[in-house]
Structure 1
Amino acid sequence: MVTLNDKSNNKIIYNTMLTIALPVIIQHLISIGLNLVDTVMIGRLGEPELAAVGIANRFFMIFGLFCFGFYSGCSVFISQYWGIKDIKNIRKVFGIEIISGFSVAILFSTLALVFPHVIMRIFIKDPVVIDYGIQYLRIIGLAYIFIAISFALSYNSRSIHRVKMTVVINTIAISINTFLNYVLIYGKFGFPQLGVRGAAIATVIARFLEFVLLLYFIYKDRNHPLAGSFRELFDWDRPFLMKVYKTAFPVFVNEASWVLGTSIYYIAYGMVGTDAVATVQVSMTISDFFQSFFFGIGSACGVMIGNELGRDNKDLAYSYGISFIKLTAIASIVTGLLLYSLKNPIINFYDFKESTNYMLEMSLIVFSLFMLPKMLTYMIIVGVLRSGGDTRYCMLLDLFFIWLVGIPLAFISVLVMDWPIHLVLAAVFSEEIIKVFVVSKRINSRKWLNNLVS
C-alpha cells in the first residue's frame, strides 16, 4: 500500500494535490480579485449602493450555497466512483445534480424577480438601500438557472481531475463581467450610465456566456466523464437516488443552515447601520481573496481522499487528511499575518468617509486574528470529513454552533452590549475556536472513513 511515509510516492502525491488545487486557487484569486474591483466600482457610486448590492448578493450567496451544499454531497460519490473509473454511475450522479440544481434555481429566480422588496426588507430598513437592491435583484434573478448548471459542470470537473478548461472559461466570464461592469455602471463607450442595474446586466451576460462555453467544451469531447446523453444522465432508479440523497441531503441542509444563519448575522449587522453592512461586505470580499489558497487545497483534499476511499485505501485517505490539516494550520497563520500587514493599503482603495475607514480597519484586524480557527474548521469539515461521507455529523455540528452559539452571540453583541461592528464580528467568529477542538476529536476517531461505492 502507498503511504505518505514512502518517499518515492511523495512527489506523486503532492503533484496530484497541485494539479487539482492550483487551478482552483488561480480561479478563486482571479474571481475574488475582480470581485474586489467590482466592489470598488460600486463603492464609488456610494455606500447605499454598495450596501444594496452586498445584501442582494447575500441572497445570491444563499442560492449559491444551496447548490454548493448539494453538489458537494454528490461529489463524494463522484470522487469515489472516479477512483474506480465508473463512468456510468458518475453520469447518473451528475444527472441527479442537474435536476436538483435546476429546481433550486427556478425557486430563487422566482423569488428575486417577483418579491425583491421582501428580500431586501428582511435585511435592512433603509428605503434608499432597499430601492437600489430591488433594481439589482430584478435583473440578476435571470442568471440563476445558467449559474446553477455552470456550477455543477465546474464543481464536478474537479472530482474527475478535469479542471483546467473550466478555470479558463470561468476566468473569461469573470473578466467579461468586470469589463461590462465598468462600461455599464459608469456609462462608458457610448453606453448609458446604469449604476447598480448595469452591474446586474453585466453579470447576467457573463454568466450566460460561461454556461454556453462550458456546455460546448464538455460535449465537444464525447468521452468526457460528464458528457452523458439524456438517458445516461437520468437513467437512475429510486434506490440509487435515495443512496445519493442520504449522503448529499445532510450537506444541503448543512449549507442551507449555514447560509441562512450567516444571513441572520447580516440582520444583526444591519442593526448597527448601513456603514456597518458596507464594512462587512468589503471585509468579507477581502478575506475571501486571502482564503483562495484554502479553497484550492480543500478541493484537492476532498478529491484525493474520495478517490482513495473509492479504492478502499482507508489508511492512505487518513494520512492525506492529517497532512492537509497540518498544511492548513501553517498557511492560515501566514495568511492572517499577511492580511494584517496589508490592511492600510486595502483601506486606501475605497472612497469611504473617515468613520467607515476606521470600522473597516478594525474589521480586517478581526478577520486576520480569526484566520487560523476559521480555515482549520473549513478544511476539516469541508475537505476531510465530508469527503469520507461523514455528512450527518458535519450537519449536526454546524446546526448547533450556528444557531445555538453564533446567532445568539451576534444579537447579544448588538442589542444588549451595543458593540461596534468589529466586536460583533469577533463575537460571531469566537465559536470557531471551540469548533476546532470538537472536529479534531472526530478526525482522530476515524469514524468518517467510509467507502460509499463498493
Structure 2
Amino acid sequence: MFSYMKRGRDFYRTVLSLAIPIVLQNLITTSMGLLDTFMVGMLGETPLAAVTMANIPIFVEQLMIFGFQSGSSVLISQFYGKNDEDSINQVLGIAFYISGGLTLLFGCIMCFFPLEFMGLFGNDAVVVGTAAQYIRIVAFSIFFGGLSEVYIAAHRSMANPKLGLYILAVSVLSNTFFNWVFIFGKLGAPAMGVEGAALATLMARILQFLIALLHILLNKRFRLKPAQLLRPSRAMLRRYIHYATPVLFNETFWGLGTALYPTIMGHMAGSQAILAAYGISGNIEKLATSLVFAVGGTTAIIIGNEIGAGRRETVYDVGLALNTLAFLTGLIAGLTMIGLTFLFFRPVVYPFFHLSDQAADIAAMMSVVTFSFLSVRSFNTTNVVGVLRGGGDVRAASLIDLSSLWLVSIPLAALSGLVFQWGILAVCLCISLDNVIKFFFGVARLRSGVWIRDVTVS
C-alpha cells in the first residue's frame, strides 16, 4: 500500500539536505518574530496587541513577496533542471522589478498614512494609535527584505538553501541586538518602546539587503547577467505572468483572507486580550510550522527539478511520498506541541509576556485548536505549494487554496465572532475548517495526475 515510500536512501538524503537548511531558516525567521513579541510583551499587553495589529498588513505584504518567490520558483526550479542560466536571470529580473515596485508603494502608504491605515484593523483607539507609531517607522523594511528574499528564494530553487540560512541568521541576530538597544534604551540610546522595535526591524532588513548585495558581487556559483536581468524578454514576461500571476494572486488573497481573522478578533468584545493571545500563540505556532513549510518548500524544488530534467514518469510517486511524509511530520509535531502547551508554554512561557489570566487561557486554547489540525495542514501545504504548484498546476492550486478560505472559513468566522458573538473558540474552529475542506479537494487533484506540466516549454 505504501510501496511509493520505498525510494531509496539517496532520495531521503536529498530531502534532508534540502529541508534541514530551510527548517533552520524558517526557525530563524520565526525566532525573530518571537523575540520581537517577547521584548515588546515586556512593555505590557497594550503594546503587544498594537504590534500584533500592525503586523497584519505586514504579514499580507510578506505573503505577496512569498508569492513572487513561489511564482519565480515554479520557473526557476525547472530551468535549473535544464541548466538554463539565461532564463533564470530573466525570471529573477522580472521578480525584482515587480516586488520592488509594489513594496515601495505599500511602504509609502504605511509611512504617510499610518493612523488612517491602522484604523482599518481595529476599533481600540489606544491600540490603533500605538500600532500607527510602529508601522510608520517599519514601513520600508519590507522593501529591503523583499528584494533580498526574492534573491534568496532563487538560490533555494537552485538547490542552495544554505544561503538564506546564513543571511537570515545575521538578520535575526542583528534585529535582536537592535531591539535590546532601542526598545529599552541601552548603550546610551533613548528608550523608544514600540518605536524602538520598529527601528530595529528596519535596520535589520537593511543589513539583510546589504549582505545579499555583497553575495551578488562575490558569488561564483551563479552569476547574475545584467543583460538578461535588467532587460528580460517579452516572451519570458508573458511566461512569468502566465505562471506567476496565479501564485501571486493566491498568496495575496490568502494573506488578505488570513489577515481578516485578527481583524475580526480586533472588533470583538475583549479584543485587547484576544489580540495579545493571538500574538503569542501565532508565534509559537510558527515554530511548529517551520518544519511543515520546509517540507513544502523542499517538495517544490524536487518536483520542479524532476520535471525539468525530463523524469515525468516518477513525479507522481515522488509527490505522493512527500505528501505522506508531510502528514506524518505534522501529526508528530502537532501532538508534541499540544503537550508542550500545557507542560511548558502555559505555566512557563506565557508569564514572561505579562498576559492577563484571560489572555493566557485564550492563547492556550488557540494553540490546542491549531495543533489539533496540524497534520492535515501539513499535508495541504506540501500538496498545494510543493506538489501541485511545483508541478506547474498553479491555477488549480490557487483555486483549492482560496475557495474554502473565502467561501467557508472567513464568512463563518465573521458570523460567529461579530454577528452571533459565540466567542473566540467558535472563531478558531471556523478558521480550522478551511484545512479540512482543502484536504479533500487537494487529494482529488493529486490523484488525477493532470498537474504534471513542463512550464519551460511555450
From 401, 404, 407, the equivalent of 1:401 is 404
Amino acid at match of 2:27: L
From 359, 363, 385, the equivalent of 1:360 is 363
User: Which has the higher mean CA deviation after the structures are superposed, 92-101 or 235-244?
Assistant: 235-244
For residues 164 and 437 of structure 2, the distance between their equivalents in structure 1, rounded to whole angstroms, comes to 37
Alpha carbons 2:4, 2:320 under 8 Å: kept? no
Q: Which residue of 2 aligns with 1:374?
A: 377
From 376, 389, 392, the equivalent of 1:389 is 392
Q: Which residue of 1 aligns with 2:221?
A: 224
Q: Which residue of 1 aligns with 2:275?
A: 277
Q: Is 1:427 the counterpart of 2:427 in the alignment?
A: no
Q: How does 1:11-410 map to 2 (within 5 A)?
A: 11-221=9-219, 223-225=220-222, 227-272=223-268, 273-344=271-342, 345-347=344-346, 348-349=348-349, 350-410=353-413
SS of 1:189's equivalent in the other structure is coil
Amino acid at match of 1:374: R
For residues 445 and 5 of structure 2, the distance between their equivalents in structure 1, rounded to whole angstroms, comes to 26
Spell out, residue by residue over 1:98-129, the C-alpha distance to the aligned partner (whole angstroms, 9 max, x if none): 00111111111111111111221111111111
SS of 1:122's equivalent in the other structure is coil
For residues 416 and 173 of structure 1, the distance between their equivalents in structure 2, rounded to whole angstroms, comes to 43
- Detail structure 1 runs of 4+ shifted over 3 Å in the superposition: 4-7
User: Which has the higher mean CA deviation after the structures are superposed, 278-287 or 415-424?
Assistant: 415-424
Amino acid at match of 2:309: R
Amino acid at match of 1:224: R
1:136 is displaced (CA, Å) by 0.7
For residues 398 and 295 of structure 1, the distance between their equivalents in structure 2, rounded to whole angstroms, comes to 15
From 390, 414, 421, the equivalent of 1:418 is 421
User: Which has the higher mean CA deviation after the structures are superposed, 277-286 or 343-352?
Assistant: 343-352
SS of 1:427's equivalent in the other structure is helix
Contiguous gaps of at least 5 residues in structure 1: none
Q: Rate the CA distance shift 1:379–1:6 in 2: closer, same or farther, 3 A.
A: closer
TM superposition score normalised by structure 1: 0.95
Q: Rate the CA distance shift 1:193–1:130 in 2: closer, same or farther, 3 A.
A: same
Spell out, residue by residue over 1:357-394, the C-alpha distance to the aligned partner (whole angstroms, 9 max, x if none): 11111111111111122221111101111001111112
Alpha carbons 1:305, 1:387 under 8 Å: kept? yes
| Corresponding pairs, count | 448
Alpha carbons 1:51, 1:277 under 8 Å: kept? yes
Spell out, residue by residue over 1:374-419, the C-alpha distance to the aligned partner (whole angstroms, 9 max, x if none): 2211111011110011111122223321221111111111123312
1:176 is displaced (CA, Å) by 0.8
For residues 133 and 418 of structure 2, the distance between their equivalents in structure 1, rounded to whole angstroms, comes to 31
SS of 2:108's equivalent in the other structure is helix
For residues 355 and 275 of structure 2, the distance between their equivalents in structure 1, rounded to whole angstroms, comes to 13
Contiguous gaps of at least 5 residues in structure 2: none
Alpha carbons 1:218, 1:224 under 8 Å: kept? no
User: Which has the higher mean CA deviation after the structures are superposed, 395-404 or 119-128?
Assistant: 395-404
Amino acid at match of 1:377: N
User: Which has the higher mean CA deviation after the structures are superposed, 29-38 or 286-295?
Assistant: 29-38
For residues 187 and 274 of structure 1, the distance between their equivalents in structure 2, rounded to whole angstroms, comes to 26
Alpha carbons 1:336, 1:371 under 8 Å: kept? yes
Spell out, residue by residue over 1:147-200, the C-alpha distance to the aligned partner (whole angstroms, 9 max, x if none): 111111111111111222331121011111011112211112222110011001
For residues 262 and 296 of structure 1, the distance between their equivalents in structure 2, rounded to whole angstroms, comes to 20
SS of 1:123's equivalent in the other structure is coil
Spell out, residue by residue over 1:247-266, the C-alpha distance to the aligned partner (whole angstroms, 9 max, x if none): 10001111111111112222
CA-based RMSD: 1.6
TM superposition score normalised by structure 2: 0.94
1:429 is displaced (CA, Å) by 1.1
Indicate the percent of aligned positions where both proteins have the same amino acid.
Answer: 33
1:18 is displaced (CA, Å) by 1.5
For residues 356 and 285 of structure 2, the distance between their equivalents in structure 1, rounded to whole angstroms, comes to 21
Amino acid at match of 2:442: V
User: Which has the higher mean CA deviation after the structures are superposed, 86-95 or 407-416?
Assistant: 407-416
Amino acid at match of 2:369: V
1:269 is displaced (CA, Å) by 0.9
Alpha carbons 2:413, 2:426 under 8 Å: kept? no
Amino acid at match of 2:249: V
1:6 is displaced (CA, Å) by 11
1:288 is displaced (CA, Å) by 0.7
